[in-house]
Amino acid sequence: MRVAMYYNNKDIRVEDIPTPRIGPGELLVRIDASGICGSDVLEWYRVKKAPLVLGHEIAGEVVEVGDGVDRYKKGDRVVSSHHVPCNTCRFCLKGHHTVCDTLRRTNFDPGGFAEYVRLPAINVDRGVYLIPDGVSFEEASFAEPLACVLRAQRIAGLGPGDAVLVIGSGIAGLLHIQLARATGAGRVVATDINEARLAAAKRFGADTVIHANEDVLAELKRVNDGWLADKVIVCTGAKSANSQALGLVERGGTVLFFAPTDPGVTIPVSINDLFFRNDITLSTSYAGSPADHVIALELIRARRVRVSDMITHRLGLAETAKGFQLVAEASDSIKVIIEPQR
């Protein structure tokens, strides 16, 4: 089968490798849509594991079913989590599925930028979800990133009436904007340094957009009745944005750092000003739980989160290198989908 083999962000080669053979409890899935995630182009993180086949936002059709699998059949349209939790460790039992040791060890074979993937038995047992009728493969491929956003907003305690500031209006920021709007946020404000992404933020539900080079604090207070944001969600790894977020959250509010930074990045935090005096919560979120994937698919089915409108590029497997460049440059792309069967 053909795969897009990653060596670095500028060296991705279409290669032939054997189609995986499945065993008991496993599935072989033909990949029809696989989204490029911002984490796929974090070269400092990925290149040390190269060469490898990336891609974890997958949707496709079951083409082979291993012995003992009775919940899925050939022809089923599915999405799958690449990392799955054990559901029994101390972390899972406390609701922290994404720090489970099992979740960090699991994956599918090889990756989503391939014509087929083998889903190991543990993934089949707790990480495969049927695609609802009326949802396309490319729409379903958003289930994983939307699940991550769902978990993040739950951790942040985002609720009806909250004033939300989203810093960074790439695909993650746009999903946060849409979900906040769908779940009743009172006012949603977005920032970015890219005018095209600011226009997209407005299109996907932000009440106000602010260029990051402006006086964000003054403009936020102007549009929010003199108040700062109850919830600040940082969707960029830029150190300046992460530092800026600390000054844009209202007393009693939460800053949620959703994007990783480069290695070794730190920001100063005033214990007295943020915590002791103003009761600010700082948090992070990584990945999504199985329940988040189920909810994400339902939100997509119900069109509460409009994902198809976010797709700016649909590319064949041979164009995966172009897709990586589009995502890495973060200029005129929002969501890039690879279609390995093209």
Strands 311-316 and 335-339: parallel
Neighbours of 240 (CB within 10 A): 12
Q: Which residues pair with 257 in a beta bridge?
A: 234, 284
Is residue 198 within 8 Å of 190, Cβ to Cβ?
Answer: yes
- From the list 234, 192, 188, 189, the residue with the least C-alpha distance to 213 is 192
How far, CA to CA in Å, does 240 sit from each of 59, 168, 261, 266, 268? 36, 12, 11, 11, 11
Q: What is the pLDDT along the chain (342 residues), one digit of tens a residue?
A: 999 999 999 999 999 999 999 999 999 999 999 999 999 999 998 999 999 999 999 999 999 999 999 999 999 999 999 999 999 999 999 999 999 999 999 999 999 999 999 999 999 999 999 999 999 999 999 999 999 999 999 999 999 999 999 999 999 999 999 999 999 999 999 999 999 999 999 999 999 999 999 999 999 999 999 999 999 999 999 999 999 999 999 999 999 999 999 999 999 998 998 899 899 999 999 999 999 999 999 999 999 999 999 999 999 999 999 999 999 998 889 999 999 998
- Within 8 A by CB and 6+ apart from 266, the residues are none
Q: How many angstroms from the chain centroid is the CA of residue 284?
A: 14
Tell which CATH architecture fits domain 2-142+307-339. Answer: Alpha-Beta Complex (3.90)
Which residues of the chain are in CATH 3.90.180.10 domains? 2-142+307-339
Condensed to tens digits (0 to 9), the pLDDT of residues 158-203 reads: 999 999 999 999 999 999 999 999 999 999 999 999 999 999 999 9
d(C-alpha 248, C-alpha 331), whole Å: 26
How far, CA to CA in Å, does 7 sit from each of 34, 89, 194? 19, 35, 29
Is residue 58 within 8 Å of 117, Cβ to Cβ?
Answer: yes
Specify the CATH superfamily of domain 147-284. NAD(P)-binding Rossmann-like Domain (3.40.50.720)
Please tell me the number of Cα atoms within 13 Å of 24 on its side-chain side: 1
Alpha helices in 237-279 (DSSP H): 239-245
Which residues of the chain are in CATH 3.40.50.720 domains? 147-284
- From the list 12, 56, 14, the residue with the least C-alpha distance to 37 is 56
Q: What is the reported pTM?
A: 0.96
Phi/psi at 215 (5° precision): -80, 85
Condensed to tens digits (0 to 9), the pLDDT of residues 134-167 reads: 999 999 999 999 999 999 999 999 999 999 999 9
